[in-house]
Amino acid sequence: MMDQTRSMESRTGRKNQRYGSKGERLVAGVVPLSADKTKVLMIQSAGRGGWVLPKGGWETDEASAQVAACREAWEEAGVICTVHQDLGMIPDMRPSTLLTAHAPKASYQFFEVTVDREEDQWPEMHKRKRQWVSYAQAAAALASRPELLEALNRSSVRR
Protein backbone atom coordinates (compact mmCIF):
# COMPACT_ATOMS: atom_id res chain seq x y z
CA MET A 1 0.00 0.00 0.00
CA MET A 2 1.45 3.30 -1.08
CA ASP A 3 1.88 5.96 1.59
CA GLN A 4 -0.08 9.08 0.58
CA THR A 5 2.99 11.26 0.98
CA ARG A 6 4.91 9.26 -1.61
CA SER A 7 3.69 10.63 -4.88
CA MET A 8 4.95 9.19 -8.16
CA GLU A 9 5.23 12.79 -9.35
CA SER A 10 8.48 14.65 -8.79
CA ARG A 11 8.16 18.20 -7.59
CA THR A 12 9.47 20.63 -10.16
CA GLY A 13 10.09 24.35 -10.30
CA ARG A 14 11.04 26.68 -7.49
CA LYS A 15 7.92 28.68 -6.70
CA ASN A 16 7.69 27.06 -3.22
CA GLN A 17 11.46 27.14 -2.61
CA ARG A 18 12.66 28.26 0.82
CA TYR A 19 15.49 30.81 0.99
CA GLY A 20 17.85 31.74 3.79
CA SER A 21 18.48 35.20 5.24
CA LYS A 22 21.13 35.97 2.60
CA GLY A 23 18.94 34.91 -0.31
CA GLU A 24 20.57 31.49 -0.62
CA ARG A 25 18.48 28.49 -1.71
CA LEU A 26 17.91 26.05 1.17
CA VAL A 27 18.72 22.54 -0.02
CA ALA A 28 18.09 19.35 1.96
CA GLY A 29 19.73 16.02 1.24
CA VAL A 30 20.59 12.59 2.55
CA VAL A 31 23.67 10.42 2.92
CA PRO A 32 21.91 7.04 2.48
CA LEU A 33 23.80 4.22 4.21
CA SER A 34 23.34 0.48 4.28
CA ALA A 35 22.32 -0.97 7.67
CA ASP A 36 25.93 -1.98 8.42
CA LYS A 37 27.21 1.43 7.26
CA THR A 38 29.68 -0.06 4.76
CA LYS A 39 27.94 1.24 1.63
CA VAL A 40 26.51 4.53 0.38
CA LEU A 41 23.64 4.74 -2.11
CA MET A 42 24.44 7.19 -4.89
CA ILE A 43 22.29 8.40 -7.75
CA GLN A 44 23.11 9.62 -11.20
CA SER A 45 23.03 13.39 -11.56
CA ALA A 46 20.15 14.33 -13.88
CA GLY A 47 22.30 16.96 -15.56
CA ARG A 48 25.90 15.91 -15.80
CA GLY A 49 25.56 12.16 -15.47
CA GLY A 50 28.05 11.93 -12.59
CA TRP A 51 27.15 10.28 -9.29
CA VAL A 52 25.74 12.40 -6.45
CA LEU A 53 23.76 12.18 -3.20
CA PRO A 54 19.98 12.73 -3.25
CA LYS A 55 19.17 16.36 -2.49
CA GLY A 56 16.87 19.16 -3.52
CA GLY A 57 15.08 22.30 -2.47
CA TRP A 58 13.35 22.49 0.90
CA GLU A 59 9.85 23.74 0.09
CA THR A 60 7.59 26.08 2.04
CA ASP A 61 4.93 23.42 2.69
CA GLU A 62 7.44 21.08 4.36
CA ALA A 63 7.69 21.39 8.15
CA SER A 64 11.40 20.60 8.30
CA ALA A 65 14.50 20.09 6.19
CA GLN A 66 14.35 16.47 7.36
CA VAL A 67 10.95 16.01 5.68
CA ALA A 68 12.30 17.57 2.47
CA ALA A 69 15.42 15.38 2.56
CA CYS A 70 13.37 12.18 2.86
CA ARG A 71 11.08 13.32 0.02
CA GLU A 72 14.13 13.90 -2.18
CA ALA A 73 15.45 10.42 -1.27
CA TRP A 74 12.13 9.00 -2.45
CA GLU A 75 11.84 11.08 -5.64
CA GLU A 76 15.44 10.69 -6.79
CA ALA A 77 16.49 7.29 -5.41
CA GLY A 78 13.22 5.46 -4.74
CA VAL A 79 14.13 4.69 -1.15
CA ILE A 80 12.23 4.78 2.12
CA CYS A 81 14.65 5.82 4.84
CA THR A 82 15.07 6.47 8.55
CA VAL A 83 16.95 9.57 9.67
CA HIS A 84 19.68 8.93 12.26
CA GLN A 85 21.46 12.23 12.52
CA ASP A 86 21.47 15.79 11.29
CA LEU A 87 24.85 16.37 9.64
CA GLY A 88 24.42 20.13 9.97
CA MET A 89 24.57 23.04 7.57
CA ILE A 90 27.16 23.05 4.80
CA PRO A 91 27.79 26.26 2.87
CA ASP A 92 27.96 26.31 -0.90
CA MET A 93 31.61 25.80 -1.81
CA ARG A 94 31.35 26.41 -5.54
CA PRO A 95 33.41 29.29 -6.90
CA SER A 96 31.26 32.27 -7.93
CA THR A 97 32.16 31.53 -11.56
CA LEU A 98 30.02 28.37 -11.34
CA LEU A 99 26.96 30.08 -9.83
CA THR A 100 24.23 30.83 -12.36
CA ALA A 101 20.55 31.80 -12.40
CA HIS A 102 19.84 28.08 -12.90
CA ALA A 103 22.26 27.10 -10.10
CA PRO A 104 22.21 29.96 -7.56
CA LYS A 105 24.09 29.97 -4.28
CA ALA A 106 22.73 27.37 -1.86
CA SER A 107 23.01 26.28 1.74
CA TYR A 108 22.91 22.52 2.28
CA GLN A 109 21.51 20.56 5.20
CA PHE A 110 22.24 16.85 5.05
CA PHE A 111 20.94 13.97 7.14
CA GLU A 112 22.47 10.56 7.65
CA VAL A 113 19.82 7.94 6.92
CA THR A 114 19.62 4.20 6.64
CA VAL A 115 17.74 2.78 3.70
CA ASP A 116 14.81 0.68 4.92
CA ARG A 117 13.43 -0.21 1.50
CA GLU A 118 14.31 0.24 -2.17
CA GLU A 119 11.20 0.41 -4.33
CA ASP A 120 11.14 -0.92 -7.90
CA GLN A 121 9.36 2.15 -9.20
CA TRP A 122 9.94 5.75 -8.19
CA PRO A 123 9.32 9.20 -9.65
CA GLU A 124 12.72 9.77 -11.30
CA MET A 125 13.55 6.16 -12.23
CA HIS A 126 13.70 7.05 -15.92
CA LYS A 127 16.15 9.90 -15.30
CA ARG A 128 18.48 8.35 -12.74
CA LYS A 129 20.15 5.08 -11.89
CA ARG A 130 21.09 4.26 -8.30
CA GLN A 131 24.10 2.32 -7.13
CA TRP A 132 25.56 1.12 -3.80
CA VAL A 133 29.24 2.00 -3.49
CA SER A 134 32.01 1.93 -0.91
CA TYR A 135 33.19 5.05 0.90
CA ALA A 136 36.26 5.23 -1.36
CA GLN A 137 34.12 5.05 -4.51
CA ALA A 138 31.70 7.66 -3.17
CA ALA A 139 34.50 10.02 -2.13
CA ALA A 140 36.11 9.73 -5.57
CA ALA A 141 32.78 10.38 -7.33
CA LEU A 142 32.16 13.47 -5.16
CA ALA A 143 35.64 14.97 -5.58
CA SER A 144 34.27 17.79 -7.75
CA ARG A 145 31.36 18.46 -5.35
CA PRO A 146 33.00 19.62 -2.10
CA GLU A 147 29.71 20.24 -0.24
CA LEU A 148 28.52 16.69 -0.99
CA LEU A 149 31.90 15.25 -0.05
CA GLU A 150 31.72 17.18 3.24
CA ALA A 151 28.29 15.62 3.97
CA LEU A 152 29.71 12.15 3.24
CA ASN A 153 32.68 12.81 5.51
CA ARG A 154 30.43 14.00 8.36
CA SER A 155 28.49 10.74 8.21
CA SER A 156 29.38 7.57 10.10
CA VAL A 157 29.96 5.51 6.93
CA ARG A 158 32.76 2.98 7.45
CA ARG A 159 35.91 4.24 5.77
In a domain, 17, yes or no: no
pTM: 0.90
In a domain, 16, yes or no: no
In a domain, 102, yes or no: yes
Range of the domain at 78: 25-154
In a domain, 123, yes or no: yes
Give the per-residue pLDDT at 93: 87
Segment 153-156 long-range contacts (CB within 8 Å, at least 24 positions apart): 154/31, 154/87, 154/88, 154/90, 154/110, 154/112, 155/31, 155/33, 155/40, 155/87, 155/110, 155/112, 156/33, 156/37, 156/84, 156/85, 156/112
Q: What is the CATH classification number for the domain harbouring 81?
A: 3.90.79.10
In a domain, 18, yes or no: no
In a domain, 33, yes or no: yes
Give the per-residue pLDDT at 104: 74
In a domain, 10, yes or no: no
Question: pLDDT 10s digit of each residue in the chain, 159 long?
Answer: 344 457 888 877 778 999 999 889 999 999 999 999 999 999 999 877 799 999 999 999 999 999 999 999 999 999 999 999 999 999 998 888 888 777 778 999 999 999 999 999 999 999 999 999 999 999 999 999 999 999 999 999 999
In a domain, 62, yes or no: yes
Give the per-residue pLDDT at 2: 42
Domain count, the chain: 1
